[in-house]
A and B are shown apart, each in its own frame.
Chain A
Amino acid sequence: GAVVSQHPSRVICKSGTSVKIECRSLDFQATTMFWYRQFPKQSLMLMATSNEGSKATYEQGVEKDKFLINHASLTLSTLTVTSAHPEDSSFYICSARGGTVFVQPQHFGDGTRLSIL
């Protein structure tokens, strides 16, 4: 089945550091990728949607200068948390969807646990 690989799985770093998270679709071309944030015992909150080669579309309340998204190829998207602070600590999950027809299944990576000290 479709596989989405996300790295790293866990990051611990000091406040002020920028952190890059990679998301790859391993066996399909991801025309659209999504980035979510999940707080403990809560549902997934969509942060942004990106189409390959286009600028990401951010959800209301998500700072685009804080969370930089790049979707340069059909198999790779990156999320960079710039100048991270303790309040940015969370579980970040990427997701990918293939095809140009919109009703394609969306598959998720295994998430990145980000801890800012």
Chain B
Amino acid sequence: GENVEQHPSTLSVQEGDSAVIKCTYSDSASNYFPWYKQELGKGPQLIIDIRSNVGEKKDQRIAVTLNKTAKHFSLHITETQPEDSAVYFCAARGGAQKLVFGQGTRLTINP
């Protein structure tokens, strides 16, 4: 089945700098890759997603890139703000039609 690895597990950046979180997946049949932000005590919130027929997608300060050949995808957050502090999860959905999640990245934005 699908296996998703996410790095780093923790990331601390200065406010205004960029943050990058990377994920790799194992199932070449996976075709949908969402990113979720989870704040303390809440459920995951979908922030951006990408399908396998595109290589990059951007939404304001957030962008995701996908390299199907290498089976990896990344989340880029620019001009980080304190409210970006949260746990971020990547996921991949493939032939089994179920999301498989990465281990999560705890992002801390230092003022």
Interface residues of A (CB under 8 A from B): 4, 6, 34, 42-44, 46, 49, 93, 95, 102-103, 105-111, 113
Most central of A6, A42, A107 by chain B CB within 10 Å: A107
Contact with A along B8-43 (1 / 0, CB 8 A): 000000000000000000000001101010000111
Q: Are A102 and B97 in contact (CB under 8 A)?
A: yes
Q: Are A103 and B89 in contact (CB under 8 A)?
A: no
Q: Are B97 and A109 in contact (CB under 8 A)?
A: no
Contact of A93 among B31, B43, B51 (CB under 8 A): B43
Most central of A49, A106, A109, A113 by chain B CB within 10 Å: A106
A-B contact pairs, 18 of them (CB 8 A): A4-B43, A34-B99, A43-B101, A43-B103, A43-B104, A44-B44, A44-B101, A46-B98, A49-B98, A102-B97, A105-B46, A106-B46, A108-B36, A108-B46, A109-B43, A110-B42, A110-B43, A111-B41
Q: How far is the CB of B106 from chain A (nearest CB, A)?
A: 8
Name the residue of chain A whose CB is nearest to the CB of B43: A108
Q: Are B44 and A108 in contact (CB under 8 A)?
A: yes
Contacts of A34 in B (CB 8 A): 98-99
Contacts of A110 in B (CB 8 A): 42-43
